[in-house]
């Protein structure tokens, strides 16, 4: 790959995939970012946490999120380009994730509103009652500035990983809808017109099996606020998405799917976001490399550009190879998801294969993004710590990506679970056969099978090394698939 292609996300995608869906649209979207979006994004990041206006001048509760006016231009442009509506027009997720890649190259935080909006639209379209879909889905698929946004609110103050114990929001039936009461502690894209929310119906067991998924509008049927925002979070990064604490007080909501399917629908929502997180992590990795390359070509030390020094040049070559492998892993997750996203419980073996690849991709790409951002700062030296050079932002953004939609620990443990219960590792190794070295494949299979026979505590305690190696192995094999 030509190093100069690092400067363009679309050129990188073209190099890796050969044929790129909606290429002309992607080129136009990239051009928008280069000529307008980059400057707006930098201003938004520097401005920090947006302001919450809780009351209007007459004391009426409004909970309005106040951003710079240019922010809304930036945000709405992605919706209008089709980061959500194209999924339903094309009956494919491919174009959406490609647009997400370009977005994340310039602003990883902005990809969050698009992701959670998609993760609201998909379960609504799949599982919503016809009357609910007719009322709300068209609003999410508009192609002008009046488009609605979505959000996914699962996390409460006790944490996000152990949903079975942490979710205390209760739901009770009220005719054609439900009433939700509780609090959501880490509500990304707060202020959205619609949200999908995890809650526990009255009388349901206090386990993850007792949860259900609901669609929550911003406003009640009488026009009043359906949820209130307690405060906005002051985060280290992702300033282009407002995150807040939400209070639900008999808030009107609509059940999605069957009550007994709740946990599966919640995981479907999370998996859509996990793949977006993987795509965003790879795009951020590319951006760090692109910026570091430009700096290294222009910075002189010991009589020549620092890029010409053998050690740094070798590090660039190694990092670019890692970028290509990480992209191959993330894109395989996209491809597999595109085959199974229409499935409903009970799922096929192909879905369980996707699940394992999704966990590997989310873990591996996020770790790579953080390590690459740290290294990118080192390329700049001391001035890399200065905000005016921009590398500090990519490090801040990368640290969030490792935590969003499940920490590395969560990916390892969920990956272990799908290997144990569904034999997903056998499905994966079979899937990799056409491109993998047979001996290496057999060795990996033997290692996994031996690990699964360990005592329970030992099996969990020692999963990290195996999971890391399986992710690296899978990424390397899939890189050869794209070659």
- How far CA 161 is from CA of 438, 451, 462, in Å, comes to 37, 24, 20
Task: Give the 3-state secondary structure of the chain.
Answer: CCHHHHHCHHHHHHHHHCCCCCHHHHHHHHHHHHHHHHHHHHHHHHHCCCEEEEECCCCCEEEEEECCHHHHHHHHHHHHHCCCHHHHHHCCCHHHHHHHHHHHHHCHHHHHHHHHHHHHHHHHHHHCCHHHHHHHHHHHCCCCCCCCCCCEECCECCECCCHHHHCCCEEEEECCEEEEEEEEEEEECCCCCEEEEEEEECCCCCCHHHCEEEEEECECCCCCECCEEEEECCCCCCCCCCEEEEEEEEEEEEEECCHHHHHHHHHHHHHHHHHHHHHHHHHHHHHHHHHHHHHHHHCEECCEEHHHCHHHHHHHHHHHHHHHHHHHHHHHHHHHHHHHCCCCCCCCHHHHHHHHHHHHHHHHHHHHHHHHHHHHHHHHHHHHHCHHHCHHHHHHHHHHHCCCCCCHHHHHHHHHHHHHHHCHHHHHHHHHCCCCCHHHHHHHHHHHHHHHCCCHHHHHHCHHHHHHHHHHHHHHHHHHHHC
Residue 341 has a pLDDT of: 98
Question: For the segment 127-160, what is each residue's pLDDT rounded down to a tens digit?
Answer: 999 999 999 999 999 999 999 999 999 989 987 7
Total Cβ atoms within 10 A of residue 55: 11
CATH of domain 3-140: 1.10.540
Residue 238 has a pLDDT of: 84
Q: Pull the structure tokens for residue 393.
A: 């932002």
Residue 47 has a pLDDT of: 87
Residue 399 has a pLDDT of: 94
Fold matches, 152-259 and 263-482: no
CATH 1.20.140.10, domain 263-482, yes or no:
yes
What is the residue extent of each domain of the chain? Answer: 3-140, 152-259, 263-482
- pLDDT-flagged residues of the chain (< 50): none
Residue 265 has a pLDDT of: 97
CATH of domain 152-259: 2.40.110.20
Residue 289 has a pLDDT of: 98
């Amino acid at each position: 790959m030509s190093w100069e292609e690092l400067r363009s996300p679309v050129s990188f995608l073209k190099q890796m995939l050969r044929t790129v869906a909606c290429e002309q649209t992607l080129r136009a979207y990239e051009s928008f970012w280069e000529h307008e979006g980059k400057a707006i994004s930098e201003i938004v990041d520097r401005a920090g946490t947006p302001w919450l206006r809780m009351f209007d001048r007459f004391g009426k509760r409004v909970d309005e999120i106040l951003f710079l006016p240019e922010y809304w231009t930036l945000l709405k442009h992605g919706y209008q380009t089709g980061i959500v509506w194209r999924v339903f027009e094309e009956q494919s997720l491919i174009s959406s994730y490609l647009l997400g890649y370009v977005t994340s190259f310039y602003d990883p935080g902005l990809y969050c509103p698009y992701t959670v909006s998609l993760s609201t639209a998909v379960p609504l379209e799949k599982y919503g009652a016809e009357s609910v879909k007719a009322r709300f889905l068209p609003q999410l698929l508009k192609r002008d500035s009046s488009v609605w946004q979505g959000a996914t609110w699962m996390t409460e103050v006790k944490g996000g990983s152990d949903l079975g114990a942490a979710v205390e929001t209760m739901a009770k039936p009220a005719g054609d809808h439900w009433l939700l009461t509780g609090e959501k502690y880490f509500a990304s894209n707060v202020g959205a017109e619609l949200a999908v929310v995890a809650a526990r119906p009255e009388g349901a067991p206090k386990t993850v099996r007792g949860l259900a998924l609901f669609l929550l509008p911003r406003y009640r049927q009488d026009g009043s606020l359906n949820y209130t925002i307690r405060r906005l979070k002051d985060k280290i990064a992702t300033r282009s998405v407002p995150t807040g604490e939400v209070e639900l007080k008999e808030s009107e909501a609509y059940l999605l799917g069957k009550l007994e399917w709740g946990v599966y629908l919640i995981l479907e929502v999370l998996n859509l976001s996990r793949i977006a997180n993987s795509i965003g992590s790879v795009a951020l990795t590319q951006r760090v490399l692109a910026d570091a390359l430009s700096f290294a070509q222009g910075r002189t030390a010991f009589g020549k550009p620092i890029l010409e020094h053998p050690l740094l040049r070798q590090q660039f070559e190694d990092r670019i190879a890692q970028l290509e492998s990480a992209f191959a892993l993330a894109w395989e997750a996209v491809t597999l998801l595109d085959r199974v996203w229409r499935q409903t419980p009970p799922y096929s073996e192909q879905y369980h294969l996707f699940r394992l690849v999704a966990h590997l991709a989310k873990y591996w790409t996020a770790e790579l993004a953080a390590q690459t951002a740290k290294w990118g700062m080192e390329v700049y030296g001391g001035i890399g710590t200065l905000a005016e050079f921009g590398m500090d932002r990519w490090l801040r953004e990368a640290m969030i990506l490792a935590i969003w939609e499940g920490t590395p620990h969560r990916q390892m443990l969920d990956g272990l679970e799908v290997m144990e219960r569904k034999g997903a590792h056998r499905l994966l190794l079979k899937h990799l056969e056409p491109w993998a070295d047979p001996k290496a494949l057999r060795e990996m299979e033997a290692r996994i099978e031996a690990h699964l026979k360990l005592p329970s505590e030992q099996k969990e305690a020692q999963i990290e090394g195996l999971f890391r190696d399986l992710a690296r192995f899978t990424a390397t094999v899939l890189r050869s698939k794209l070659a």
